[in-house]
Amino acid sequence: MKKPNYQNSILNLSCSILKHYNCFCSYKSIKLVDNFLAKNYQHLILMVLDGLGINIIKQHLTQESGLKKHLKSVISSVFPPTTVAATNSILLAKPPFASGYLGWVQYNKLEDANVVVFKNEDYYNPKNKLKTNLREDILAQDDILTLIKAQNPNLHVEALMPAFAVDGYHSFDNQLDRLLMITKGKPSFSFCYWEQVDSIVHSDGVKGLKTKEVVQNLNRSFERFINEIDRDVLLIVTADHGLVDVEEIDLFHYQDLTATFLRKPSLEPRALTFFIKEGLQEKFKDLFNKYFQPGFLLLSKEELLASELLGYGVKHPWLDSFIGDYIAISISNKLIKTSQHSSFKAHHAGLLKEELEVPLIIKG
């Protein structure tokens, strides 16, 4: 078990960038990054390679590989170390405690529905037409690109996303080609996000052959890119989280346990939050411990908030309603399955070292 380090994490990396562009940040910056930024490069690229945790790099790349060769430090993800929480910690320079972004599925009390945050659809009932958009109506906040552009109007600021986004890119190489073009123009800050490692590790596992192929291809593209960029470009690469191979447990097999639920659980299968009927809290805890322990850290909402696993600062006003009554955090390879439609060889969002340790790769 490992805890996130909110003094040396992906959100602190974003604070260094905000500080460099004369924008305010409530959290500490990273001195190593500050020192590189002090050299005043004309172009700065922040690249996030989803799922490329330190364990994935060590498993599939040699010391001479570009991504490993330029590894300057190991930094921490946030809790939960998962895409919704972690990428938004980077984009907003806030921990989940303040951003309100916690996991793939979050409870929307206005709809009485567990909502897939990035898709705004009811996780347990996709046919349910939602009237509110959790991301746009409740979680909307200015990101670092907006803040930087407002403070630096003459700076070229651009986000490069995969094909699922409007005007997104269909390949990592296409993203790199666009970045190269940007760095030939006026001073710029670019944010580049690529999701391929995460998606392949979910299905192939940490040590899978397809995983190895994808990581090594990604590294070859990275090496080609750093050989083409000019000396006035600073490239910073990190990941939102790592992954760990998992053993799945079907939650809904245990009907006496699920009978204690006020509503179905949410967040992530390795950081699952439960809403319990009044008066059944002790029964829930007894049954959960009977069926699922050892392997999980079971915390009440109050214990979770006191632990500062989610970070600290100004609490998001909806945070309490997102958390529920209890959270089960995996501190083993166990995953609590809440859907019959998906199965994973590897996952994230727990408190293992492999999930929380991400690279700080810098090429200047």
pLDDT tens digits for 140-163?
Answer: 999 999 999 999 999 999 999 999
Mean pLDDT of 190-216: 97
Q: Which helix (H) or strand (E) segment is 216 a member of? A: helix 209-228
Question: Which of 7, 4, 8, 144 lies closest to 78 in space, CA to CA?
Answer: 4
Classify residue 134: in a domain, yes or no. no
Chain Cα centroid distance, residue 364: 25
CATH number at residue 220: 3.40.720.10
Question: Which of 19, 23, 21, 40 lies closest to 31 in space, CA to CA?
Answer: 19
Classify residue 118: in a domain, yes or no. yes
* Model pLDDT, residue 1: 80
Instruction: Record the pTM.
Output: 0.96
Statement to judge: residues 338 and 294 lie in one domain: yes
Statement to judge: residues 236 and 265 lie in one domain: no
Which structure tokens are listed for 156? 């070229």
CA–CA gap between residue 39 and residue 236 (Å, rounded): 14
Q: Is residue 355 predicted with pLDDT exceeding 80?
A: yes
Mean pLDDT of 116-125: 96
* pLDDT tens string 43-93: 999 999 999 999 999 999 999 999 999 999 999 999 999 999 999 999 999
CATH number at residue 257: 3.30.1360.180
* Model pLDDT, residue 274: 98
Q: Is residue 339 predicted with pLDDT exceeding 90?
A: no
Burial 28-62 (b: 16+ CB within 10 A, else e): ebbebbeebbeeebebbbbbbbbbbbbbbbeebbe
Lowest mean pLDDT among 107-121, 198-212, 234-248, 334-348: 334-348
Provide the domain limits for residue 329. 107-128+247-343
- pLDDT class of 259 with cuts at 50, 70, 90: very high
Percent of the chain topping pLDDT 90: 97
Statement to judge: residues 233 and 295 lie in one domain: no
Pair type for strands 244-245 and 346-347: antiparallel
Residues facing residue 160 across a β-bridge: 192
Statement to judge: residues 185 and 225 lie in one domain: yes
* Model pLDDT, residue 341: 73
> In the predicted model, what is the mean pLDDT of the chain?
97
Classify residue 186: in a domain, yes or no. yes
* Model pLDDT, residue 353: 97
Q: Is residue 343 predicted with pLDDT exceeding 90?
A: no
Q: Is residue 340 predicted with pLDDT exceeding 90?
A: no
| E strands, the chain, in order | 43-49, 71-76, 105-108, 113-116, 121-122, 156-160, 188-194, 233-238, 244-245, 247-250, 261-268, 271-276, 296-300, 326-330, 334-337, 346-347, 357-363
